[in-house]
């Protein structure tokens, strides 16, 4: 007898709590959905920011209704990498939710573990772990 996998494979969106606000980065093909989320969009950083838990909850409900799997990340450490500021890291920026300079390094919070792995393959290190 055939078995059917009825588990819905919904795209996951990680929402990071950073400095008392919530952030995520995602490209939406759905123009209507983007218009609904536009009040939260930070154009200069290409990301979405919710300043309060109430706003985060509203956005999470909307994403859920539209077929996404929103996931809150309270501890960004496993998603945080560092790379030398003179290394080529430009392509890592598009898959990072946040970034900042720290002495001779650039620290990036990547939007997913797959992007962390790709960054490590390009010479980055997971922040706080010794090579």
Check: CB of residue 62 under 8 Å from CB of residue 69: no
HSE value, Cβ hemisphere, 13 Å, CA-based, for 60: 16
Domain count, the chain: 2
Residue 88: the pLDDT is 87
The pTM assigned to this predicted structure is: 0.88
User: Is the predicted pLDDT of residue 105 greater than 60, yes or no?
Assistant: yes
16 and 59 share one domain = yes
Domain contains 96 = yes
Domain contains 110 = yes
Tell me how far apart the alpha carbons of residues 65 and 79 are, in angstroms, rounded to a whole number: 26
Residue 64 confidence class, pLDDT cut points 50, 70, 90: very high
93 and 108 share one domain = yes
40 and 92 share one domain = no
* C-alpha pair distances (Å), 22 with each of 41, 45, 73, 79, 128: 12, 14, 9, 15, 23
| Final residue in a domain of this structure, among 73, 97, 115 | 73
19 and 62 share one domain = yes
Check: CB of residue 91 under 8 Å from CB of residue 119: no
């Amino acid at each position: 007898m055939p078995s059917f996998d009825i588990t819905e494979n919904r795209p996951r969106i990680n929402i990071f709590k950073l400095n008392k606000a919530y952030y995520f980065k995602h490209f939406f093909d759905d123009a209507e959905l983007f218009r609904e989320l536009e009040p939260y969009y930070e154009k200069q950083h290409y990301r979405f920011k919710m300043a309060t838990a109430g706003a985060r909850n509203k956005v999470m409900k909307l994403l859920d209704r539209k077929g996404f799997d929103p996931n809150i990340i309270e501890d960004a450490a496993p998603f945080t990498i560092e790379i030398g500021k003179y290394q080529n890291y430009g392509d890592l920026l598009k898959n990072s939710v946040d970034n900042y300079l720290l002495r001779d390094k650039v620290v990036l919070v990547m939007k997913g573990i797959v992007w962390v792995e790709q960054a490590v393959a390009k010479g980055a290190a997971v922040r706080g772990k010794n090579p």
